[in-house]
Structure 1
Amino acid sequence: MPSPTPVIVANLRRLREARGYSLSALAERAAISKSTLSQLEAGHGNPTIETLWTLANTLGVTFSELLAEKTGGVTVGEPGGGQVQVVARGRQSPRVEVYLMQLASGEIKHSRGHPRGVRERVMVVEGTLRVGTPRALAVCRAGEQHEFDADLDHRYEALLGATQAMVTILYPQQWEDA
């Protein structure tokens, strides 16, 4: 897997410094090792999608704010074949972001809960996906969707073959860009 993009490196450093966090402070708050965070800011290492979500949540920003240039998006991939691509980022309140998620057959993605009030709507484009929180887990096929409170831990599991899904993140009204 490639190292983090220069955009992710720059955004991570900018956001950390804007909040007055040292590497140690951010690492502790995110429950990530300081060496991992230091490697990411140096442009090295293999950040997983979960690590990047954790950093975005800890910094209090949307996932796309960490991943994207102000004018566009980026795709984050992992060795198992999964990837997430920023498709659209709304600027109005409430904030809305859209991602294309691709998972290899049998791949499972676990996601920690996002900030309070965040909801996800997942529509399967291809394949079969088990998605949601333990209390709101659904199996969806192409054309079907599931919406759930994403402030709880949740998962995505490609059940039958490679799976693609559009993931819409709905942030609460008060959410602001960093």
Structure 2
Amino acid sequence: MPPDPAPPLATIAAALRHERQRVGLSLTELARRAGIAKSTLSQLESGTGNPSVETLWALGVALDVPFSRLVEPPVAAVRVIRAGDGPRIRSEHADFSGTLLAAGAAHARRDVYLIELEPGRVRSAAAHTPRSVEHLVVGAGRLRCGPEHEQVELGPGDYATFPGDAPHHYEALEPGTFAVLIMEHP
């Protein structure tokens, strides 16, 4: 028997199983809806996979749940995440990682992330759940972000908001770029 997976893999595995069973989907059906291989989903549910941001977003959309519900462990009343800690999930297509800082309550469906980007490849995000909205505040560096045909350039302290339910992009324009991203889900 393999050893128990380490967080965040254990958290992701338990959340995927729970959400898939909650909506009554088979492994095969959820994999089909998310556009991933059944073997990949099986590995993720057993805690042996290595999920990318793109895979987890696709699963969240297929399950109609925010990304945070798949990666957020149960929280204590007082919680501190030290710089560099937290469940960091990397993109497979760009030098981009996201760390969930706080998941919204079930009635609020608002999640807070710290995203870190480096120049190079663009992080392209598929549409999230309908009526999702993204709010972004840049902490350091410069980045270009937004829907495919309405991208804006932002620097330290700049804020932008845009629909998250349409394909959108993030591109670091300087090394060491990071931002706080707040995702609202209806």
TM-score in same-fold range (> 0.5): yes
Establish whether residue 57 from structure 1 lines up as the match of residue 61 from structure 2: yes
Q: Once structures 1 and 2 are overlaid, which stretch shifts more, 64-73 or 49-58?
A: 64-73
Give the structure 1 partner of residue 88 of structure 2: 75
Cα shift at 1:167: 0.4
Give the structure 1 partner of residue 21 of structure 2: 17
Deviations 1:40-73 (A, max 9, x none): 1122232110111111111111111110112176
Unaligned runs of 5+ in 1: 173-178
Aligned sequence identity (%): 37
Deviations 1:11-35 (A, max 9, x none): 1111111111111000011111111
SS at match of 2:59: helix
Cα shift at 1:81: 4.6
Q: In the alignment, residue 124 of structure 1 is paired with which amino acid? A: V
Establish whether residue 162 from structure 1 lines up as the match of residue 176 from structure 2: yes
Cα shift at 1:74: 2.6
Q: In the alignment, residue 44 of structure 1 is paired with which amino acid? A: T
Give the structure 1 partner of residue 153 of structure 2: 139
Is the Cα contact below 8 Å between 1:16 and 1:26 reproduced in 2? yes
Change (3 A) 1:21 1:93: closer
Q: Once structures 1 and 2 are overlaid, which stretch shifts more, 50-59 or 77-86?
A: 77-86
Change (3 A) 1:23 1:114: same
Is the Cα contact below 8 Å between 1:106 and 1:161 reproduced in 2? no
Give the structure 1 partner of residue 82 of structure 2: none
SS at match of 1:136: coil
What is the distance in 2 between the residues matched to 1:92 and 1:19? 16
Deviations 1:118-167 (A, max 9, x none): 10011111111110111321111111121101100111111111210100
Within 5 Å, give how 1:66-145 maps onto structure 2. 66-71=70-75, 74-78=87-91, 81-91=95-105, 93-145=107-159
TM-score by length of 2: 0.84
Cα shift at 1:4: 5.8
What is the distance in 2 between the residues matched to 1:150 and 1:94? 16
Q: Larger % of strand: which?
A: 1
TM-score by length of 1: 0.87
Structure 1 residue runs of 4+, over 6 Å off? none
